[in-house]
Amino acid sequence: MKDPFINRKYIIMTLMVLVCLFLIIRLFVLQIVKDTYRLSADNNVLRYVTQYPARGLIYDRKGKLIVSNMAAYDIMVIPSQTSRIDTAGFCSLLGITNDMFKRQMRAAINYSRRAPSVFLKQISDQTYAGFQEKMFMYPGFYVQPRTLRKYSKPVAAHILGYVSEVDESIIKKNPYYKSGDYIGKSGIEEAYESELRGQKGVRIFMVDVFSRIKGAYADGEMDTVAVQGSDIISSIDLDLQEYGELLMRNKRGSIVAIEPETGEVLSLVSAPGYDPGLLVGRVRSENFAKLQLDTAIMPLFNRALMASYPPGSTFKPINGLIGLQEGVITEDTQFGCDYGYLFVGCHGHGSPLDLAGAVANSCNSYFCQTYRRVLENRKYGSVSEAYNRWKEYLNEFGFGSKLGTDFVNELAGFVPSTAYYDKYHGRNKWKALTVISMAIGQGEIGTTPLQMANMTAAIANRGFFYTPHIVKGVGKENSLDPKFSERHLINIDSANFNKIILGMEGAVNGAPGGTAGIARIRDIIVCGKTGTAQNPHGKDHSVFIAFAPKDDPKIAIAVYVENAGFGSTYAAPVASLMIEKYLRDSVSNKAMEQRILNLNLEDTITESETQY
Amino acid sequence: MKRSINIWVSLDKITILLYLLLVIMGWLNIYAAVYNEEHPGILDLSQRYGKQFIWILAAIFTGIFAILIDSRFYFFFSWFIYGFLMFLLVLVLVFGTEINGARSWFEFSWFSLQPSEFAKFGTAIALAGFLNSRRLDLTRLGMLTQASAIILVPAFLTALQPDMGSTVVFFALFLVLFREGMSPYVFVSGLLALILFFLTLLINNLYLKLGLIVLAILLVWFATRRWKLVLMGTGIFIVIAAVLYVIDYYLFKRLGIELVILFALLVSGIFFAWYIYTKKAMAVLVIYLFLVGSIVFVNSVDVTFNKILPDHQRDRINILLGIKSDPRGTGYNVNQSIISIGSGGLTGKGYLQGTQTKFKFVPKQSSDFIFCTIGEEWGFLGSLAVIGTFLLLFFRIIFMAERQRSVFSRVYGYGVVSILFLHVFINIGMAIGIVPVIGIPLPFFSYGGSSLWGFTILLFVFLRLDASRNEYLV
């Protein structure tokens, strides 16, 4: 029998070939033409886990640990990988409310669907342990270990600064930082951020559909290792710092102590301060807001760097030095006092005095006359020109501009220019007498405690200083910015320094009428100068600068005690105690120490007096 | 008339080779798909790959058993087999265990059985028996109806489970009817209806109808090559449609554009009828009838789907067709499947190296989505090899079917190839996102005893019929 439909087998075969071709074309498009699927598959399976390096540790100059790290755990979320989960169970596991869950989820989605964001910060070890076990039930969530700062002693907050989470603006500015990262703010933490933070690494894991980690991707070949942050050896002496903060308790003011031969800052106290431990972990933002809102005492304000005071009588040695160098006086020049010079008064002391005596007695008349001679020096065509010369000396000492330390916020202070006076009095309309208050460190001039300590170091060095710095060395190489080993010379002969130092020695060590006998230490020659910074808002500030020992200076110090009156009353004893503590590791004058410790000036200060 | 021949010698070796090749490839890919590090042995019976090995052995025994049975048995008992399996299909609706919302499985204590996998064999053999038993003429309406009934009964029963996948597969047997003389118009109509069904759900109906009308106009031009006629016909239609539309718009306000098109078409038909009658233009008549039929069909599908079907069933179909997105359900499956296959590239990621596969991103990967493993780990070349092997098998079966001396064996052979072909097309199409996910296995590849045995019996009975083709003339 002949089959009339035999040819239909060809139609059927053609149909099959066409259908298979259709499948093959589609496969060709999927597998060869489009390359987005490989990416999608990678996104499915690859989990990039950032390896956070431990932040570098900070030691003091003697190798004592100041800042270390402790572990904390953040719960991270990748919104695109989450699925419907048992929210109630999840919330109770982490001890959060349902509202909080929704809020955090929304915030994470707003940040990015694909990138991880912090869901819950710094959970406790216990919560962490519980969560770790059940994590597989919650795809899209994982734990990110982080380190938090830990402080061995509740001191030096202003020096160290703090670490806080990066905000949007930082993330935008610097792509290194991602949501949830930490960055140093103020102090050493900010100045040495790039050294302390190290280098983040990333480990690539493969996860299955339940986000369970199944092993390293490509045997870890694509991973990058986190580089630990460099340790920092600070120049501060932790014991001295602690002692300084103790002395300044219940007072306002600051202490800056510098090692003259290196410019290393031994101690930098700004009172009132705060416990750096307050700004760590989950309590950080709350505490920070509290500290910031405390406008009465402004604990976050670093007076040592940021407060500008008229230097007062502590400025007299500078004017004496300039007078000597300019040749308008010698060490033997004598001026009578008679309780003042024109409208500048003076206290009762022997008269007339020579230079050393004038320094020791802090005679206003003497330095007014000296200053007038400096400005009216025939050598220069005009007072303006002479004033400019005088200002140059001041600038050499580091006044009127930032010193260039490794503190991130440092005030320049203020030394008026001739243009400043021209503006107020008219060109060539002002004379030496117009600006005579500068002779005794009053008037428009403003300096910071750090600048005063630096000046003291320059005097101790007899004519040079190193830019003050708070860090001795970074990392294993103990490296340091070369600018800190650059000697800044002052164009004043060292012989002239010795003449002034003689007066400073006398002020402390028994010259007749010496103003700072209270600062004397047995067997150590302390050279100092008292000062009283006028305070238009209230009681004057007590100021004292000193260095010791005289012939081999190891410490130069500037002490400010606000609203405490004469320099000899409180600033000088504080400086003396600090010097002895540093040089001898203990203090001999227990009675004086006790008097300072018991002193509470906080109660006597009204809010209106706090003005800067 | 009986000639004594050795069955084992006359078995078709090429088919057996292709069969073994596919089964082993399937087994290796199941191993990759469900690979468990704690049980690395491919024969570990606690894992699917270990079990599949048992199924393969059992399937081979079943195959041998199928070969041992005298070929006349299949012919004489074809109705009994069919009846028995239809009975099981009814039984499973009552006693079956509901899995994923469908009653498709009998569950026994140590294994479960899916009768629809065997019903495919039963239907193919019954169809062969039916077409062999009379004077074969599928142009006769009565015979075509009866043959269709044989196919539609199991299709209906599986639709009740509901198991859309199996239902669709039975329709593959119409290909056999086409081969045996069914009018191509019926065949094309069926195909067209199927295509239109999906298009109705996927495309705006107005556009679809306009598209059909444009297509009809083009076909008329193609058939007559007279552009004046085409323009005139189109003009008549447009004028009538416009008049009807205006009348409806100002008077009735209830017909709507859909019905206006249909009426315009019917009214303009009077003019076409005159032309067709005078010129004896059969082609134009056929085109016209197809057009009217299509538009009526589209309307009825639309009404059925949107007005009659319950909401949840409509949702399910919508999701299947990708009209509604469901990224966590069916949509997720297809999405991940496409990612797996697409990420395979030209040569694949290597055996056991597929990340999508290894980390279980594609659900049902050892059964319905086994092709993902091939696509991801073996790449385009591997996919090509698998599709190529299947195509070789299809051609071999067609070749063998054509060399049969009995209609019974030939029809059965075509039944086998039709069922396998539709399975392969739908399964792979599902995995690469061009066919809705209706959950049917890839023959010989997918994990599961029932489907492997079902396909093995289907193929090996044909091997037996082929081996004894010179023995009897049944």
Q: Mean pLDDT, to the nearest integer, of B65-91? A: 93
pLDDT, tens digit (0-9, with 9 covering 90-100), for A480-523: 889 999 999 999 999 999 999 999 999 999 778 788 888 999 89
Residue A153 falls inside a structural domain: yes
Residue A295 falls inside a structural domain: no
User: What distance in Å separates the CA atoms of residue B464 and residue B471, rounded to the nearest whole number?
Assistant: 11
**Shortest distance, CA B281 to any CA of chain A (angstroms):** 26
Contacts of A100 (CB under 8 A, 6+ apart): A91
The reply to whether residue A13 touches residue B395, judged by beta carbons under 8 angstroms, is yes
Q: Which of A20, A22, A40 sits opposite B343 (nearest CB)?
A: A40
pLDDT, tens digit (0-9, with 9 covering 90-100), for B218-275: 888 888 888 888 888 888 888 988 888 888 888 777 777 778 888 888 888 888 888 8
> Between residues A374 and A114, which one has the greater pLDDT?
A374
- Give yes or no for residue B317 having a pLDDT over 80: no
Residue B209 falls inside a structural domain: yes
Selected for mutation to probe chain B from A8, A22, A30 (highest B CB count within 10 Å) is A30
Q: Which of A303-307, A309-313, B324-328 has the lowest mean pLDDT?
A: B324-328
Selected for mutation to probe chain B from A1, A31, A38 (highest B CB count within 10 Å) is A31
Mean pLDDT over the full length of chain A = 87
Tokens of A409: 């916020």
Q: Mean pLDDT, to the nearest integer, of A21-33? A: 92
Pair A171, A244 in one domain: no
Residue B50 falls inside a structural domain: yes
The reply to whether residue B380 touches residue A28, judged by beta carbons under 8 angstroms, is yes
Q: Mean pLDDT, to the nearest integer, of B180-205? A: 81
Q: Nearest residue on chain A to B422, judged by CA atoms?
A: A16
Contacts of A210 in chain B (CB under 8 A): 360
**Shortest distance, CA A25 to any CA of chain B (angstroms):** 10
Pair B117, B42 in one domain: yes
Q: What is the pLDDT of residue A139?
A: 81
Q: Of B246, B276, B308, which one is at a domain's C-terminal end?
A: B308
Q: What is the pLDDT of residue A118?
A: 85
- Give yes or no for residue A525 having a pLDDT over 70: yes
Pair B236, B351 in one domain: no
Q: What is the pLDDT of residue A610?
A: 45
- Give yes or no for residue B313 having a pLDDT over 70: no
Q: Which of A8, A31, A44 sits opposite B380 (nearest CB)?
A: A31
Q: Which of A249-258, A501-510, A592-601, B222-231 has the lowest mean pLDDT?
A: B222-231
- Give yes or no for residue B410 having a pLDDT over 80: yes
Show the domain range for A376.
238-287+300-609
**Shortest distance, CA A208 to any CA of chain B (angstroms):** 4
Residues of A with CB under 8 A from a CB of B: 4-6, 8-9, 11-13, 16-17, 19-20, 22-24, 26-28, 30-32, 34-38, 40-42, 44-45, 83-84, 206-210, 214
Pair A192, A266 in one domain: no
B76 CB within 8 Å of a chain A CB? no
Q: What is the pLDDT of residue A600?
A: 86
- The most confident of A327-336, A344-353, B168-177, by mean pLDDT: B168-177
CATH number at residue A457: 3.40.710.10
Pair A452, A514 in one domain: yes
Q: What is the pLDDT of residue B331?
A: 64
Q: Nearest residue on chain B to A217, judged by CA atoms?
A: B355
Q: Of B308, B340, B375, which one is at a domain's C-terminal end?
A: B308
Residue A426 falls inside a structural domain: yes
Q: Measured between alpha carbons, how far is residue B469 from residues B70, B128, B171, B408 in Å?
A: 12, 15, 27, 11
- Give yes or no for residue B73 having a pLDDT over 50: yes
| Structure confidence at residue B148 as a pLDDT band (50, 70, 90) | very high
Q: Nearest residue on chain A to B349, judged by CA atoms?
A: A38
Q: How many domains in chain A?
A: 2
**Shortest distance, CA B428 to any CA of chain A (angstroms):** 8
Pair B21, B142 in one domain: yes
Pair B12, B148 in one domain: yes
Q: Of A189, A217, A234, which one is at a domain's C-terminal end?
A: A234
The reply to whether residue B179 touches residue A45, judged by beta carbons under 8 angstroms, is no
Q: Nearest residue on chain A to B347, judged by CA atoms?
A: A31
Pair B297, B329 in one domain: no
- CA A33, A37, A39, A45 dihedral sign is negative
Residue A3 falls inside a structural domain: no
CB atoms within 10 A of CB A289: 10
Q: Mean pLDDT, to the nearest integer, of A125-142? A: 83
Q: Which of B356, B379, B390 sits opposite A31 (nearest CB)?
A: B379
Contacts of B336 in chain A (CB under 8 A): 44
Q: What is the pLDDT of residue A211?
A: 65
- The most confident of A180-194, A525-539, B372-386, by mean pLDDT: B372-386
Residue A38 falls inside a structural domain: no
pLDDT, tens digit (0-9, with 9 covering 90-100), for A549-572: 999 999 999 999 988 877 678 899
Q: What is the pLDDT of residue B321?
A: 62
Q: Nearest residue on chain A to B399, judged by CA atoms?
A: A9
| Structure confidence at residue B415 as a pLDDT band (50, 70, 90) | very high
Contacts of A38 in chain B (CB under 8 A): 342-343, 345
- Give yes or no for residue B332 having a pLDDT over 80: no
User: What distance in Å separates the CA atoms of residue B343 and residue B357, rounded to the nearest whole number?
Assistant: 11
B383 CB within 8 Å of a chain A CB? yes
Pair B356, B450 in one domain: yes
Tokens of A405: 């330390």
Pair B449, B381 in one domain: yes
Contacts of B381 in chain A (CB under 8 A): none
Residue A17 falls inside a structural domain: no
Q: Nearest residue on chain A to B398, judged by CA atoms?
A: A9
Q: Which of A14-28, A474-488, B323-337, B388-402 has the lowest mean pLDDT?
A: B323-337
The reply to whether residue B343 touches residue A38, judged by beta carbons under 8 angstroms, is yes
Q: Of B308, B334, B363, which one is at a domain's C-terminal end?
A: B308
Pair B427, B453 in one domain: yes
Pair A220, A118 in one domain: yes
B328 CB within 8 Å of a chain A CB? yes
The reply to whether residue A16 touches residue B394, judged by beta carbons under 8 angstroms, is yes
Residue B320 falls inside a structural domain: no
> Between residues B129 and B306, which one has the greater pLDDT?
B129
| Structure confidence at residue B385 as a pLDDT band (50, 70, 90) | very high
Residue A179 falls inside a structural domain: yes
Tokens of B339: 């990612």
Q: What is the pLDDT of residue B461?
A: 95
CB contact at 8 A, B349 and B380: no
- Give yes or no for residue B21 having a pLDDT over 90: yes
The reply to whether residue B180 touches residue A5, judged by beta carbons under 8 angstroms, is yes
Show the domain range for B304.
199-308
Q: What is the pLDDT of residue A214?
A: 75
Residue B30 falls inside a structural domain: yes
Residue A22 falls inside a structural domain: no
Q: Which of B181, B345, B398 sits opposite A38 (nearest CB)?
A: B345
Selected for mutation to probe chain A from B35, B334, B359 (highest A CB count within 10 Å) is B359
In the block, tokens 């983040």 appear at A200
B434 CB within 8 Å of a chain A CB? yes
CB atoms within 10 A of CB A489: 11
Mean pLDDT over the full length of chain B = 86
pLDDT, tens digit (0-9, with 9 covering 90-100), for A353-367: 889 889 988 888 899
Pair A244, A230 in one domain: no
CATH number at residue A227: 3.90.1310.10
- Give yes or no for residue B374 having a pLDDT over 80: yes
- Give yes or no for residue A611 having a pLDDT over 60: no
- Give yes or no for residue B122 having a pLDDT over 80: yes
The reply to whether residue A6 touches residue B328, judged by beta carbons under 8 angstroms, is no
Q: What is the pLDDT of residue A612?
A: 45
Pair B12, B58 in one domain: yes
**Shortest distance, CA A180 to any CA of chain B (angstroms):** 29
Pair A176, A275 in one domain: no
Q: Complex ipTM, two decimals?
A: 0.85
Q: Mean pLDDT, to the nearest integer, of B8-29? A: 93
The DSSP code for A312 is G
The reply to whether residue B375 touches residue A16, judged by beta carbons under 8 angstroms, is no
pLDDT, tens digit (0-9, with 9 covering 90-100), for A43-59: 777 878 788 888 999 99
Q: Which of A126-140, A203-217, A420-434, A497-511 has the lowest mean pLDDT?
A: A203-217
Residue B249 falls inside a structural domain: yes
Reduced 3-state DSSP string for chain B: CCCCCCHHHHCCHHHHHHHHHHHHHHHHHHHHHCCCCCCCCCCCCCCHHHHHHHHHHHHHHHHHHHHHCCHHHHHHCHHHHHHHHHHHHHHHHHHCEEECCEEEEEECCCCEECHHHHHHHHHHHHHHHHHHHCCCCCCCHHHHHHHHHHHHHHHHHHHHCCCHHHHHHHHHHHHHHHHCCCCHHHHHHHHHHHHHHHHHHHCCHHHHHHHHHHHHHHHHHHHHCCHHHHHHHHHHHHHHHHHHHHHHHHHHCCCHHHHHHHHHHHHHHHHHHHHHHHHCCHHHHHHHHHHHHHHHHHHHHHHHHHHHCCHHHHHHHHHHCCCCCCCCCHHHHHHHHHHHHHCCCCCCCCCCCCHHHHCCCCCCCCCCCHHHHHHHHHHHHHHHHHHHHHHHHHHHHHHHHHCCCCHHHHHHHHHHHHHHHHHHHHHHHHHCCCCCCCCCCCCCCCCCHHHHHHHHHHHHHHHHHHHCCCCCCC
User: What distance in Å separates the CA atoms of residue B377 and residue A41, rounded to the nearest whole number?
Assistant: 13
Q: How many domains in chain B?
A: 2
Residue B126 falls inside a structural domain: yes
Q: Is A394 buried (19+), middle (13-18) or exposed (0-12) by CB count in 10 A? A: buried
The reply to whether residue B383 touches residue A24, judged by beta carbons under 8 angstroms, is yes
The reply to whether residue A27 touches residue B359, judged by beta carbons under 8 angstroms, is no
Pair A114, A179 in one domain: yes
- Give yes or no for residue A37 having a pLDDT over 90: no
Pair A399, A461 in one domain: yes
The reply to whether residue B428 touches residue A23, judged by beta carbons under 8 angstroms, is yes
Residue B29 falls inside a structural domain: yes
User: What distance in Å separates the CA atoms of residue A163 and residue A277, rounded to the nearest whole number?
Assistant: 11
pLDDT, tens digit (0-9, with 9 covering 90-100), for A64-120: 999 998 888 888 888 877 877 788 888 888 888 888 888 888 888 888 777 788 888
Pair A214, A262 in one domain: no
